[in-house]
Chains A and B, each alone.
Chain A
Amino acid sequence: MREKMQQIKDTKAFQSLITSVIALVISLLLGAVIIWLSGYSPVESYKAILGFSLGTKKGIALSLSQATPIMFTGLAVAIAYKVRMINTGAEGQLYVGAMAAAVAGAYITFLPRAVHIPAAMFCGIMAGGLAALFVAFLKVRFGAGEVITSLMLNQVLILFTSYLANGPLKSEGSGLAQTEMILETAELTRLIPKTQLTTAVLIAVIAAFILHFILTRTTYGYEMKAIGLNVDAAKTAGIHVSRIYLRTFFISGAIAGLCGASMALGTNHRFVEGFSVNYGFAGISVAALAAYNPLGVILSAILFGVLKAGSITLNRTTPVPIEFVDVIQVLVVILVAAPTLIRALIKPFSLLVKGGK
């Protein structure tokens, strides 16, 4: 029994879980300091946040709907990181994904609901996937670093969708830069009426399980891990590295596209210029907190969703600044990303404890 416990403790997954939890606790404490410095009671604030987010139906719905987009982008970043690529292009990919889905949702008029939603989703997936595939192609063919090309492509894609929403696809008679409303047959079903919570969250969770399955149970997943551990060794072992890069980035972009599609079909019911509040970049924090584990992404996204939803409500009743959640989010990532940093931070404490004994 003891041996078994030791085995569990030695696994990487367990260690990264511990790191994440410690990082989270430290960050929440730092968050408390921030609240306290702003002149409010940290205990009351956290109570209010959790009380709303976990204690009320509306709060749970808001938490999950806030978690959905970052769950998608977190998955997009996590899967690409398996081959040690960082998808900084999720922001652009989710914009084209949303545009493609919104266009399919508004202009395809003859499909029944059961086909229309998947069809519109598919358009979003393809748009995001192809955008990412282009970046991977530039890497494989010309050796161009994906981080910089993705950042450039982000600008191009965001500007292009903005052009469409302001120009040829602009909703008639609307003062805002947005496309026509999608048809009812393309709208995602609301899980709780009168909230933003739609079936999108289920799609995200299913996507996470599929990715987990791919990573742990398929040859492709094995090849990805091999590349992640050592590219040169993987090459020597006969793995088609370029092909895996292309495929992985396509999947990553497809999930980011799905994020945009779910926003267009579920939340906004159309493409709205500037709808993403850096969801693509937030995905990097979500994935890092989850140690790039797809199932972990579900949890870390929900966690940030809970904090976000709580602070939105808190902000309506008390003047506690909503931004402190974003700061906590980054602090968690900084601490998680550097496990050795955490060890250095807690070393004095553990010495104290041991010394006390």
Chain B
Amino acid sequence: MGNIANLTYVVLVSTLRMSVPLILASTGGAFSIRCGVSDLGCEGMMIAGAFFGMLGSYITGNPWLGLVTAMLFGAIFSMIHAVMHVTYRVNATISGMCVNLLGTAITPLLLQVIWGVRGKSAQVAAFSPLNLEWMKKIPAIGRMMAAQNIIFYLTIVLVVLGWMFLFKTTAGLRMRMVSENPQAASTVGINVTGYKYFGVMMSGIFCGLGGAYLSLGQMNMFIDGMTSGRGYIAVVINAFGRFSPLGALAGSIFFGFFDSLQTVFQGSVIPTQWMMMLPYILTLAVISVGLRKSRSPAGVGKYHE
């Protein structure tokens, strides 16, 4: 009995840990789609966040300042996407992929230029699990909650705030209008380009944070290619979660759960690859056949005159 309880604890703790970067990146993706711009650049913004978060913490010795740098550089990378797609009207898939390719190419280069090493950076100050005594005493979930670090709690707050902004404020409504019909939005006097830039920048900030969770939350260093496709998974989760931060939260926990199961099932009869495939197959089925509502807003990728 104790064994099963312990296993459940391990799975739940690791589910939450695996989910955090996905939650942040897919919430960022929701901001991007909800201003009418494809969110395909998440991977590049994440890896930028992971690297520059580490660099910020390395230089200042303070992981909080690392988070700030990660957000800043996530935003800078997102601006490449915005300038190319919004201002110069490049196909959003191409400009998003450019951000991804740039991120994956420039981070190992900087690693080489700054430290002269390959593969991973030096160790930096990072965030550790809270391990608060009062928290551990909460029945059932206490131990699990205490095993998370502060970014986890920050993430939950940001997701709720993000959802409130998008669906409960006038600015959010205007932004969603831009994503549905930029021409109409422009006609009623909404600053379409401004909202698009804002939405993409928010996606960069969220993705940057998501990347920083990897280098400062899960680890205390940057490892080359450490996002390992999570940005693309976030794009998928975002579609799965119907482009809402709350949907992104649920979708990320779903994917995080399967991610953590593979560690449990390692060496058992079920091959881990099958476990990992399952969420993608389900999502593929849901998105293509099931929910008609998971279509992106009508105006994504469209321009106003």
Contact = CB atoms under 8 A, between A and B. Distances in A.
B93 A153 contact: no
**Interface majority SS (helix, strand, loop, mixed), chain B:** helix
B296 A327 contact: no
A327 B109 contact: yes
A337 B98 contact: yes
A319 interface: yes
A154 B236 CA distance: 12
B106 interface: yes
Interface stretch (A67-75, A159-167, A198-206, A212-220): A159-167
Interface string B49-74: 00000000000000000000000000
**Interface majority SS (helix, strand, loop, mixed), chain A:** helix
B156 interface: no
B273 A337 contact: no
B271 A151 contact: no
Nearest to B225: A278
A18 to B, nearest CB: 17
Interface in B249-301: 271, 273-274, 276-277, 280-281, 283-284, 287-289, 295-296
Interface string B81-106: 00110001111011101101110111
B94 A163 contact: no
Contacts of B288: 138, 142, 144, 149
Scoring A152, A155, A326, A331 by chain B CB atoms within 10 A of each residue's CB, the highest score goes to A152
A285 B192 CA distance: 29
A155 B235 contact: no
A337 B84 CA distance: 8
B28 interface: no
B127 interface: no
Given A86-B93, A285-B101, A148 B236 contact: yes
Contacts of A193: none
B40 A147 contact: yes
B112 A321 contact: yes
Given A147-B40, A155-B280, A333 B101 contact: yes
Contact of A148 (B83, B229, B239, B276): B239
B113 interface: yes
Contact of B101 (A155, A160, A326): A326
Nearest to B114: A38
A334 interface: yes
A284 B97 contact: yes
Contacts, number: 128
Scoring A149, A167, A281, A334 by chain B CB atoms within 10 A of each residue's CB, the highest score goes to A334
Contact of A149 (B229, B233, B271, B284): B284
A238 B284 CA distance: 31
A70 B274 CA distance: 29
B108 interface: yes
B29 to A, nearest CB: 11
A327 B95 contact: no
Contacts of B40: 88, 147
A330 interface: yes
A13 interface: no
Contacts of A156: 277, 280-281, 284
B90 A160 contact: no
Nearest to B271: A163
Counting chain B residues whose Cβ lies within 8 A of the other chain, the interface size class is 35 or more
A55 interface: no
Interface in A23-78: 34, 37-38
B232 interface: yes
Contacts of B287: 144, 148-149, 152
Interface string A63-107: 000000000000000000000101010000000000000000000
A323 B105 contact: yes
B271 A166 contact: yes
B229 A86 contact: no
B94 A337 contact: yes
A155 B84 CA distance: 28
Contacts of A281: 97, 100-101
Interface of A: 34, 37-38, 84, 86, 88, 138, 142-145, 147-149, 151-156, 159-160, 162-163, 166-167, 278, 281-282, 284-285, 288, 319, 321, 323-324, 326-327, 329-331, 333-334, 337-338, 340-341
Which 10 pairs, one residue from A and one from B, show the smallest C-beta to C-beta distance?
A326-B105, A163-B273, A321-B112, A323-B109, A338-B88, A144-B288, A138-B288, A86-B93, A159-B273, A330-B102
15 contacts: A86-B91, A86-B93, A86-B94, A143-B295, A151-B232, A152-B236, A159-B273, A162-B273, A281-B97, A284-B94, A284-B97, A285-B97, A327-B109, A338-B88, A338-B90
